[in-house]
Amino acid sequence: MTETIVPKKIYFRVWGTLLILLAVTVGVAYIHLGWFNPAAAVGIAGIKALIIILYFMHVRYSPKVLWVFVSAGFVWLGMLFLWTLGDYLTRSYLPPPTIWPQ
């Protein structure tokens, strides 16, 4: 919980940044960058989420214990992503066992 009152101009700056990033996301999508397209899309979305969390949701001005609570959800989601995708991405590395030769 924050005692700090965040000045309005910071909110407006964040809002402006968010709208610019929105334009960038859409613009970059039209340029063919191969695997970098989804990476950029998620990356920009991540930055937007970060500034919403830090400024609009006041986390930047909150005690450290709150930062742990905020990150926990994302870290755990990361674990779900990591090991699930880890399965799918490594399936081709080792072929499944075949029938014993007669």
Write the interaction track for another protein spanning residues 36-65; mark x where CB under 8 A is met and - where it is not: -xx--xx-xx--xx--xx-xxxx---xx-x
Our finding on whether 18 is near another protein (CB under 8 A) is yes
Cα–Cα distance for residue pair 45/49, rounded to 1 Å? 6
- Nearest CA-CA partner of 11 in 1, 19, 2, 3: 19
Give one word for 4, left, alpha or beta, with left for phi > 0 and alpha for psi -120 to 50: beta
CB of 8 to another protein, least distance (A): 6
CB of 76 to another protein, least distance (A): 5
DSSP 94: S
- Cβ-based neighbour number of residue 55 at 10 Å: 19
Residues of the shown chain interacting with another protein in the complex, contacts defined by CB under 8 A: 1, 5-6, 8, 11-12, 14-15, 18-19, 22, 25-26, 29-33, 37-38, 41-42, 44-45, 48-49, 52-53, 55-58, 62-63, 65-66, 69-70, 72-74, 76-77, 79-81, 83-91, 93-94, 96
